[in-house]
Amino acid sequence: MEKYNTFKQEGNILIHTRILDAPRDLVWEVWTTPEHIKEWWGPDGFSLTIKSMNVEPGKTWDSIMHGWGRDFDSKVEYLEVKKPSLLSYKHFGESEDYDFTVSVLFEEVEGKTLQTMKSVFKSKEIIEDLNRRFNVIEAGRQTLNRLENYLKISVEK
Amino acid sequence: MAPTRDIFQAIADPTRRQIIGMLARKSLNVNAIAKEFDITRQAVSLHVQFLNDCGLIVIKQQGRERYCEAKLERLKEVTDWVDQYRNYWDNKFDSLQNYLAKIQNKKK
């Protein structure tokens, strides 16, 4: 089954596949109902408040993620809703350039569900930009950590 | 010496990507690289200099020749955010699988 778990980049698209040990109808349900999705969605250690969730083309899912002592708004607009095989939505980024669309395909394979998630960004350059900025943020964070440790050591002396 | 240019500028250009590809297989001097392209040796030399500035290649003097060698560690920068994205979803799909197992057990 491991062969079904893959990840690759094709230009501006990131593709993630995963085999899930559950019937397709159930997988569909946990993706599309608020009481289920809040049990697994979002970063670890975060909680989720769902303001509204309307799984229909053109309708939205509005929520707030709580974590790291902060609130993060999250909004997606559903594009295609074809129960139980295809769900696609647009994820709103910090600006229009950073919006991306995600399609999740559910297929029945040997009694399990093969889930293929495709995230389509505006361009390959956007992905590269995110890579670069992430790196800058990470580098900045590490520098701050080092400064913090250094200050601690200095104070202890 | 710290690289003075952005690695993303380095890989934005198709000629430079091709040069990186050639050097990844083996070290070459500028003349040997230039032979593979229709552009002038001077133009190739500028691309090589650019890659050098980015820290993607190093130029080593060997006798009268200057050899270009690929240093691909810096290309790793390009994969960082994508790795993060991948890890995030790998982790989420684990959570999803665990949750699915939990609710299926309840139903039994």
- Helix A24-32 with B76-107: angle, nearest 10 deg: 110
Of all residues in chain B, the one with the smallest CA distance to A29 is: B100
**CATH homologous superfamily for A2-122?**
START domain (3.30.530.20)
Residue A147's pLDDT is 47
pTM: 0.63
Q: Which residues contact B53 (CB under 8 A, 6 or more apart)?
A: B3, B4, B5
Residues A128, B91: C-beta atoms closer than 8 Å: no
Domain at B7-75: CATH code: 1.10.10.10
Residue A151's pLDDT is 47
| Residue range A6-45, pLDDT digits in tens | 999 999 999 999 999 999 999 999 999 999 999 898 887 8
Residue B2's pLDDT is 56
Domain boundary assignment for chain A: 2-122, 124-157
Rounded CA-CA distance A157/B61 in Å is: 48
The answer to whether residue B29 scores a pLDDT higher than 90 is yes
Residue B79's pLDDT is 59
Residue B76: exposed, middle, or buried by beta-carbon count in 10 A (0-12, 13-18, 19+)? exposed
The answer to whether residue A54 scores a pLDDT higher than 90 is yes
Domain boundary assignment for chain B: 7-75
Residue A142's pLDDT is 53
Rounded CA-CA distance A151/B83 in Å is: 32
Structure confidence at residue A64 as a pLDDT band (50, 70, 90): very high
Residue B41's pLDDT is 92
* Residue where the block lists tokens 């003349």: B31
Q: At B44, which amino acid appears?
A: V
Of A9, A14, A40, the CB nearest to B92: A40
Closest-CA distance of chain A to residue B43, Å: 24
Residue A25 CA: distances (Å) to CA of B26, B98, B101 = 53, 16, 14
For residues B33 and B25, is the Cβ–Cβ distance under 8 A?
no
Q: Which of A110-119, B40-49, B69-78 has the lowest mean pLDDT?
A: B69-78
| Residue range B40-66, pLDDT digits in tens | 999 999 999 999 988 889 999 888 888
